């Protein structure tokens, strides 16, 4: 890669906006730099399933032309962005990392994709993911395994591993992902970047291919909290096409970002520091809490007693919803149709058998079982009751705390293939993130250090519903005092 490419691709989105405003580089030059970085790095990282080079350059040139004419431009004008491949993009293949949607070209844009176009962002392409967002390592994709830019032998996390790795590898300054049980925050932690899951309903899910509809939420990846606020400003807000999207007023998340929140109280749940937490992860998180305390925070030990049931609850609720949502992929209505079948039932069976991977099949079977006659009361309905108790725990905690802090993931990135044969061990990678989705609250992961193997560690901050502004200000308070967000992975 050229020196100019390296210089531009290591910049944040906010810096790229300023570079264009000063006339130091235009949108086309910036876009070419990121496309060059993708060509140089992605054969090793494997973040992208599709790079839309011609369309990206055409968009960039159009922005430069409009700028030269003095026309008003959007807030992300000329900033490249990567989009997770379960978010619909009109005229561009959207596979969800699955063979069953290998040739699906959406006839419409997702709400967030529309917002990106309106903001004049440059969409570089679609990123890899665990099939239908079901996984914690991006090893479940039907197409390729994405690698962690900090160590190519390790996983980047999942399910939004492609979007996280693209930012960490400086192949895109910002990206979009989705978070159903930690699929933004966990890969953000493992890749050393910032990942935000907004409140359920803060961002429209229109055009997001559903996994578990009551848990899914589109969110952001970036190098720093400022870029997170910029991107959230673009995608948040009411959309009548999503009945769960709220009409709550959207503040300017950048307006008070640099103003420290004082005084503020951080709740530290004792359940988040129990067995299974890596010692180096705990050390970095404790040091982050000490730093926040030195900057005016009151640290208060709290309890989230029902969080111990979060994994079990999640894998009943999410799989039940998944089994329903994925019923449409039958070879008739949507998706791959088997060429070898003897009758209608055989066609359904073979189409789904050939199109879905093993993890998706596992979750469909779990969901069908929990919803089946004789078991729905014992499993699914009981899980819904526990979900309510988990939300009640958070409501009680936020009565006395501004945010709840703890580790994002129990370990740093593990080796590719290390947990592939042990689904339960893989599920436990999301032990600290799942309860946030069950409660519908916002959560952010910010980098807070590295372990002895130079793998990133993330600090998770959770907030009350629609408290993203407060969450971002506290995250920025920590970020300003530390160097972690400035570090960039160097790919050999």
| Active site residues per annotation | 84, 159, 183
Q: Which residues pair with 445 in a beta bridge?
A: 195, 460
Q: DSSP states of 298-320 as a string?
A: EEEEE--GGGGGHHHHHHHHHHH
Q: Where are the beta strands (DSSP E) in 198-332?
A: 218-222, 264-269, 297-302
Report the candidate in 200, 183, 93, 96 with the shortest Cα–Cα distance to residue 143. 96
Report the candidate in 227, 183, 213, 179 with the shortest Cα–Cα distance to residue 199. 179
* Vertex 469: Cα angle to 396 and 272 (nearest 5): 45
Report the candidate in 451, 452, 459 with the shortest Cα–Cα distance to residue 485. 459
Q: Which two tokens stand for residue 51?
A: 């790079």
The answer to whether residues 404 and 462 touch, using CB atoms and an 8 Å cutoff, is yes
Give the SS3 label for residue 151.
Answer: strand
Alpha-carbon span 45 to 166, nearest angstrom: 8
Give the SS3 label for residue 170.
Answer: coil
Report the candidate in 193, 172, 195 with the shortest Cα–Cα distance to residue 42. 172
DSSP 380: I
The answer to whether residues 192 and 456 touch, using CB atoms and an 8 Å cutoff, is yes
- Is the peptide bond preceding residue 426 cis, with omega within 30 degrees of 0? no
CA 243 and chain centroid, separation = 22
Sign of CA dihedral 53, 59, 62, 68: negative
Gyration radius of the chain's alpha carbons: 21
Q: DSSP states of 88-132 as a string?
A: -BTTB---TT-GGGTT---SS--HHHHHHHHTT-EEEEEE--SGG
Alpha-carbon span 123 to 112, nearest angstrom: 12
Give the SS3 label for residue 149.
Answer: coil
By DSSP bridging, strand 443-450 and strand 194-197 are antiparallel
Alpha-carbon span 157 to 133, nearest angstrom: 11
Alpha-carbon span 356 to 142, nearest angstrom: 9
């Amino acid at each position: 890669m050229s020196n100019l490419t390296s210089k531009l691709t290591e910049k944040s989105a906010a810096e790229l906006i300023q570079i264009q405003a000063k006339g130091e580089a235009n949108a086309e030059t910036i876009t070419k730099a990121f496309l060059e970085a993708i060509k140089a790095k992605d054969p090793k990282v494997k973040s992208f399933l599709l790079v839309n080079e011609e369309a990206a350059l055409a968009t960039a040139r159009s922005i430069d032309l409009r700028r030269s004419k003095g026309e008003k431009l959007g807030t992300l004008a000329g900033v490249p962005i990567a989009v997770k491949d379960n978010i619909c993009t009109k005229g561009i293949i959207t596979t969800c990392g699955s063979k069953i949607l290998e040739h699906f070209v959406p006839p419409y844009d997702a709400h967030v994709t529309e917002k990106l176009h309106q903001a004049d962002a440059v969409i570089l392409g679609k990123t890899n993911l665990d099939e239908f967002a079901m996984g914690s390592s991006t090893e479940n994709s039907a197409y390729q395994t994405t690698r962690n830019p900090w160590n190519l032998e390790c996983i980047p996390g999942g399910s939004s591993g492609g979007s996280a790795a693209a930012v960490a590898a400086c192949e895109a300054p910002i990206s979009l992902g989705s978070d159903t049980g930690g699929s933004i925050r966990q890969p953000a932690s493992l890749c050393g970047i910032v990942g935000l899951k907004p409140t359920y309903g803060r961002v429209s899910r229109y055009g997001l291919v559903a996994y578990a509809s009551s848990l899914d939420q589109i969110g952001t990846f970036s190098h720093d909290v400022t870029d997170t606020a910029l991107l959230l400003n673009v995608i948040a807000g009411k959309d009548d096409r999503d009945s769960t999207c709220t009409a709550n007023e959207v503040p300017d998340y950048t307006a008070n970002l640099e103003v420290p929140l004082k005084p503020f109280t951080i709740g530290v749940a004792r359940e988040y520091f129990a067995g299974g937490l890596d010692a180096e992860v705990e050390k970095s998180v404790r040091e982050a809490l000490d730093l926040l305390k030195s900057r005016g925070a009151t640290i208060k030990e709290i309890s989230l007693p029902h969080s111990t049931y979060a994994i079990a609850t999640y894998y009943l609720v999410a799989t039940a919803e998944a089994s329903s949502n994925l019923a449409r992929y039958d070879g008739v209505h949507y998706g791959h149709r088997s060429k070898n079948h003897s009758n209608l039932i055989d066609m359904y069976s073979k189409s789904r058998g050939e199109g879905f991977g093993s993890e998706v099949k596992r979750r469909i079977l779990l969901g069908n079982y929990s919803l089946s006659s004789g078991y729905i009361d014992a499993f699914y309905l009981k899980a819904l009751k526990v979900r309510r108790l988990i939300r009640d725990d958070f409501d009680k905690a936020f009565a006395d705390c501004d945010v709840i802090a703890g580790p994002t993931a129990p370990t740093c990135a593990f080796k590719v293939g290390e947990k592939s044969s042990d689904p339960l061990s893989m599920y436990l990678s999301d032990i600290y993130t799942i309860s946030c989705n069950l409660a519908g609250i916002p959560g952010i992961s910010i980098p807070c250090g590295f372990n002895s193997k130079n793998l990133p560690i993330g600090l998770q901050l959770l907030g009350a519903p629609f408290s993203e502004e407060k969450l971002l200000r506290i995250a920025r308070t920590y970020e300003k005092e530390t160097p972690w967000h400035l570090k960039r992975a160097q790919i050999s």
